[in-house]
Amino acid sequence: MFRAFYRELCETAVHHVQKQQADTEIASRLPTLVEESFSLRLTHINGEEEDASMMHMRLMSMLKSKWAAIQSNRTCLGCLARAPENSLPCGHSVCDLCVRIFATEKPQQPWTFSLSQCLLCRRSIQATFRLKPPTAGVRILSVDGGGIRGIVSLQWLLELESRLDLSNSLSDYFDFALGTSSGKYSQPCLA
Ligand SMILES: [Zn+2]
Ligand SMILES: [Zn+2]
């Protein structure tokens, strides 16, 4: 698997390093070292000593002292594969998929995850993420204005919330809310 998917990428990366540094004996051996490490870790996973996510978390933890100086708002450093949509109080950012894998889903609150430690620097944090399920579209609440008539929209929304007897606020069912003129005052009233 390593040879099919990663060996060539690894050699390309080493080639770039070798162009910048004259003596790179370790760099030339790097693809082989990575392949050996890859095989060893695959053996651990196949032996069910730990699953892939636990192993990934453990490896990230080994570098926790280095993560404080490495931050990116363009690449999720948890997987190096996606853009990070979620910012953490420590300054790191992670993608939705890393949240789903490494954070804990709250009971009775589907698609709401909590994280008590940064995946990278391991600082204690209190972060909650409300993710959108992959099958859900973007839910937009748009409210017209009209001066005093804006009260009609607001009353209608409050009545809707009351009659549906929802467990959460009606505002929890929208991803984005906007309003023109007095309609914009409906958004905070629903929060
Ligand atoms: Zn990620
Ligand atoms: Zn962090």
pLDDT score recorded for residue 184: 62
Dist. CA 69 → ligand 2 center (Å): 10
Dist. CA 65 → ligand 2 center (Å): 10
| Residues 146, 178 contacting (CB under 8 angstroms) | no
| Distance of alpha carbon 128 from alpha carbon 121, whole angstroms | 18
Percent of the chain past pLDDT 90, that is, above it, reads 34
pLDDT digits over 112-166, tens only? Answer: 999 999 999 999 999 999 898 888 888 888 887 777 777 888 888 888 888 988 7
pLDDT score recorded for residue 16: 80
For the domain made up of 59-130, the CATH class stated in words is alpha beta
Residue 147 CB neighbour total at 10 angstroms: 8
Q: Which ligand is nearest to the CA of 119?
A: 2
| Distance of alpha carbon 176 from alpha carbon 185, whole angstroms | 14
Dist. CA 112 → ligand 2 center (Å): 20
Q: What is the pTM of this model?
A: 0.66
Q: Which ligand is nearest to the CA of 85?
A: 1
Q: Where are the domains of the chain?
A: 2-49, 59-130, 140-190
Going through 27-156 in order, the beta strands assigned E by DSSP cover 86-87, 93-94, 104-105, 112-117, 124-130, 140-143
Model confidence at 187, pLDDT cuts 50, 70, 90, reads low
| Distance of alpha carbon 168 from alpha carbon 110, whole angstroms | 12
pLDDT digits over 10-24, tens only? Answer: 888 888 877 766 556
Q: Which ligand is nearest to the CA of 60?
A: 2
| Distance of alpha carbon 69 from alpha carbon 90, whole angstroms | 11
Q: Report which secondary-structure segment, H or E, holds 176.
A: strand 176-179
Dist. CA 56 → ligand 1 center (Å): 11
